[in-house]
Amino acid sequence: MQIGFLRMTGRTLNSFQILPVAVLEHLGVQLRLTPPRLASIRALYRRQRTLFDHQRVAMDALGFRHLMERAERGLTASLRRSAEATFSGDALIRMARVWLYKRGYVLPADKRVRLLVGAALRHAEHTLCRRIAAKFDSQTVAGWIKKPTTPKEGTTVTVLEWLRYPPHRVGRRDIADYVERAQTLRELGADRDDWADIAEARLYHYARVMLRRKPAALRRLREPRRTVELACFLRWQLLRSTDTLLDLADHRIVDLWRAAREHVEAAVSLKLTSYQRVIATVIALADDPSVSDQAFRERVRAVAAPFAGEPGGNRSAAIRKELSSRSATVRPLLKQVMDVPLDIPAGHPLSKALLVLRAVYAADGRALPAGTDNPFPKVWAPLIRSLHPLPGCRDRVPIEV
């Protein structure tokens, strides 16, 4: 029984709990003895020395040994390495048990393992704090503590609470609010490349605690916990705010496209009604024997004259044309998105387009420069070649491509 328990669990059987009946029956079959129906370790081993002797025999049979100081140092080093990527104490405890079992060490008491795991987590936390302190000056770190606890200008909520608020709608004000959040976080240094070597999982581990922490509790936090939590929170919020901002912009684009589509569909419906009236008039004239051929042609030309010279094209082309005329709604969205530093590949069409638009909007321009190429699909080329202004322009000026 001692050998089986040690092999399955990595621990010696020295509990005072009642032994399972199935285990006792199995041992009775193996030893050809009548097992007791109810027994505990204390009842089986009335002499404590015999219990220790059986434990030693089981350890010798399986090659297990007690954890010594040298092995504990090896376990500590392994836990410190694991704590760089694993932040759960329970997960590290499981790793410690696996490490001990594979190397033939009897699992020590849970309290001892938890102390080693806690020390490894604190070591990882201190190491991260030293890395942050080496990359950011003391003034920047002091700003992390002071800025989030101060009220946001014009409101009664603190900056920390404001940064945690979710968006309420998908409108221009919500997008502008997230642009302001991203700008505030960049001013605090959350956009620097010094964060590249810190995994996102580690950022989130410390940032999620700050999502529930009250601003007044920041000053009571001890170091290095406060610096680590604030730093990871600011970096994580910048990533999160940027993703939310792009998501809001995407929803806004969908709204603009839907509004343009509904306008085009309404125009098409009205046009179909007009076509039906023209056809009804032509049929009525054709059925009237008193109308001469010459009069019939003249009447048909007069009825069809309002529709002569109308441009053709499919519905998508009409929607694109309608979108290009909605400068009052498109231009503010473009200017808001351009305030966000986006990591766009150099060869992407959007990279070239935003570069041109930033230069035009910076100069308070209203038209694309002459000779601007079209980096987008060919379906947009007719609109760019036509006499059409930049979004926000009131006067129609030619745009050369």
Does 373 have pLDDT greater than 90?
A: no
**pLDDT per residue over 254-274, tens digit each?**
888 898 888 888 888 888 888
- C-alpha 196/C-alpha 135 separation (Å) is 12
Whole-number average pLDDT of the chain: 83
Residue 319: name the closest of 266, 257, 376 by CA: 257
Tokens 């410190």 belong to which residue? 80
The three-point CA angle 301-304-306 to 5° equals 120
List CB contacts of 221: < 8 A, sequence separation 6 or more: 229
- C-alpha 177/C-alpha 241 separation (Å) is 10
**pLDDT per residue over 222-259, tens digit each?**
888 888 988 899 999 888 888 888 888 888 888 888 98
**pLDDT per residue over 196-216, tens digit each?**
678 888 888 888 888 888 888
Band the pLDDT of 16: cuts 50, 70, 90. low
pLDDT, residue 318, reads: 82
pLDDT, residue 107, reads: 93
Residue-range domain boundaries for the chain? 2-62, 69-135, 138-245, 318-401
Return the sign of the alpha-carbon dihedral for residues 310, 311, 313, 314: negative
CB-based contact 157:181 (threshold 8 Å) = no
pTM of the complete model? 0.69
Residue 184: name the closest of 217, 208, 161 by CA: 161
Tokens 């419906």 belong to which residue? 269
Q: Which residues pair with 40 in a beta bridge?
A: 18
Tell me what the mean pLDDT of segment 376-389 comes to. 67
**pLDDT per residue over 71-94, tens digit each?**
999 999 999 999 988 888 999 999
- C-alpha 36/C-alpha 39 separation (Å) is 6
- C-alpha 172/C-alpha 331 separation (Å) is 11
Band the pLDDT of 313: cuts 50, 70, 90. low
Residue 372: name the closest of 363, 362, 359 by CA: 359
pLDDT, residue 71, reads: 93
Tell me what the mean pLDDT of segment 126-151 comes to. 86
Q: Which residues pair with 105 in a beta bridge?
A: 65
